[in-house]
Amino acid sequence: MADETHTLRSGSLTATIKAQGAEMCSFKHKDGTEFVWQAGPAWARHAPLLFPIVGRLASDEMRHRGKTYRMTQHGFARDSRFVWAERGESRCALVLEDSEATRALYPFAFRLTAAYALDEAGLDLWLTVANTGKEILPASLGGHPAFNWPLQAGVPKDSYALTFANEEPSPVRRVEGGLLLAATDPSPVRGTVLPLSEALFTNDAVIIDPINSDAVRYAAGQGAGPWLKMSWRGFRELGVWSKPSGAPFLCIEPWRGYPSPKDFDGEFSDKPGLMHIAPGAEEQLSFRVEVGTS
């Protein structure tokens, strides 16, 4: 159905956005290079938006004022149909507001807006969470875009690396059963470079918390062939994830928030990592993906 997707165009680039989840499902160069993972048996998503949680809560339960609500991994936005607010040649915007269905899972008033803009060099996404209610809005927000790995057929996966804008020496966080472990691992980043391999994800995602950089470049080591650069504003953590079983995608995930610590079992509003948005206020976070083919 035409209402289900919208394709943005600028110069040699196109990007296609779905109403379901406000999800980017394609980002292509006119030479045929597709940067976004096209879903499939290994993972059925492209670039979901994570709201109102990032990661998991213990037992998938959210506690608020004596009541327990079921909240599954990464929240409900990725499985919700957004409403189109704008559909132009190079820009579009989609909105998700609280409803009877969302309040059964998350008893708060909110408005989440995803605004995309494409130019000749890349794609911007602005995510705005507005508190439309009368109490503090506790929430997390994240991106989860999956890019093809390798970006070019025939290039070995382990020739790729992430190169950060700054050094990232801090220990990294890991999860077990979707929950954040208290123990940390030494950083696998060598100065500014994180070499990529399937073995890196044997213990699930690599979580850089806090992230020092505001940008990262993803490319094969020799510098030839397709590449992309992601930059972000307002996000404080970065998740890097793939499946260790040979899945041909890499997720580069700017987060504001993270999974529940394994030993946390309190009120949702007390969970570490949340934004606390005052009534009538809003938080805007953004990221940009620039791409090239040589």
Q: Which of 1-10, 103-112, 270-279 has the lowest mean pLDDT?
A: 1-10
Helix (H) or strand (E) holding 100: helix 100-103
pLDDT in tens, 3-31: 899 999 999 999 999 999 999 999 999 99
CA distances from residue 74 to 22, 43, 142, 162 in whole angstroms, order as listed:
15, 15, 9, 24
Helix (H) or strand (E) holding 59: none
CA distances from residue 47 to 79, 144, 216 in whole angstroms, order as listed:
12, 5, 17
Which pTM was predicted?
Answer: 0.96
Q: How is residue 198 annotated by DSSP? A: G
Peptide bond into 48 cis (omega under 30): no
Q: How far is CA 36 from the centre of its chain?
A: 13
Does pLDDT of 1 surpass 60?
A: no
Query: Measuring CA to CA, which residue among 156, 289, 165, 273 is closest to residue 220?
Result: 156
Does pLDDT of 221 surpass 90?
A: no
pLDDT, average across residues 141-147: 98
What does the mean pLDDT of the chain come to? Answer: 96
Give residue 237's pLDDT: 97
Would you state the structure tokens that stand for residue 178, as one six-digit string? 């979707």
Does pLDDT of 224 surpass 80?
A: no
Query: Measuring CA to CA, which residue among 258, 183, 277, 167 is closest to residue 216?
Result: 167
- Rounded CA separation 141/111 (Å): 13
pLDDT in tens, 171-193: 999 999 999 999 999 999 999 99
**Residue burial 171-205, b: 16+ Cβ < 10 Å; e: rest:** ebbebeebbbbeeeeebbbeebbbebeeebbeebb
Give residue 246's pLDDT: 80
pLDDT in tens, 26-61: 999 999 999 999 999 999 999 999 999 999 999 999
pLDDT, average across residues 259-275: 96
